[in-house]
């Protein structure tokens, strides 16, 4: 495997929740009105510091699409998917765009405060015993 180079762009950005690697700029945000199995998701025109998985046909709420899962290049966590092809004419605007799952990213405001709510399940204090 080759060396991993991480790109850092200027401007407000969205980062991997797991390792804080920059994934997309707020200026590239196309829509906040997307949903995935795990909750809310954002549609971006561009994404950085990602690697693509294999292409697959996936039936979604909006119809059949050819997509590739996208992974953070630093930690390897799945962070969303890329629309490669839409099979319905009304969905063609998604082609070439990236969806980042809201539960897997944080924005610079959350990152800079050093505080965000971890929505992953875990043990409560009463379960420590």
Residues of the chain below pLDDT 50: 115-129
pLDDT at 129: 41
Q: Is residue 122 a part of any domain in this protein? A: no
pLDDT at 62: 84
93 is in which domain, residue-wise? 32-110
Q: Is residue 118 a part of any domain in this protein? A: no
45 by Cβ neighbours in 10 Å (0-12 / 13-18 / 19+) ranks as middle
pLDDT at 63: 87
The CATH number of the domain holding residue 69 is 2.170.150.20
**35: number of Cβ within 10 Å:** 13
pTM, two decimals, is: 0.80
pLDDT at 3: 66
């Amino acid at each position: 495997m080759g060396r991993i180079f991480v790109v850092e762009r200027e401007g407000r950005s969205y980062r991997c929740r797991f390792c804080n690697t920059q994934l997309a700029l707020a200026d590239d945000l196309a829509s906040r009105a997307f949903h995935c199995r795990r909750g809310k998701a954002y549609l971006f025109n561009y994404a950085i510091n990602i690697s693509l998985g294999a292409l697959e046909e996936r039936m979604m709420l909006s119809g059949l699409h050819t997509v590739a899962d996208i992974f953070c290049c630093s930690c390897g966590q799945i962070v969303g998917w890329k629309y490669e092809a839409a099979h319905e004419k009304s969905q063609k605007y998604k082609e070439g765009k990236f969806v980042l799952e809201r539960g897997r990213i944080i924005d610079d405001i959350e990152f800079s405060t050093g505080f965000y709510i971890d929505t992953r399940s875990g043990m409560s204090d009463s379960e420590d015993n």
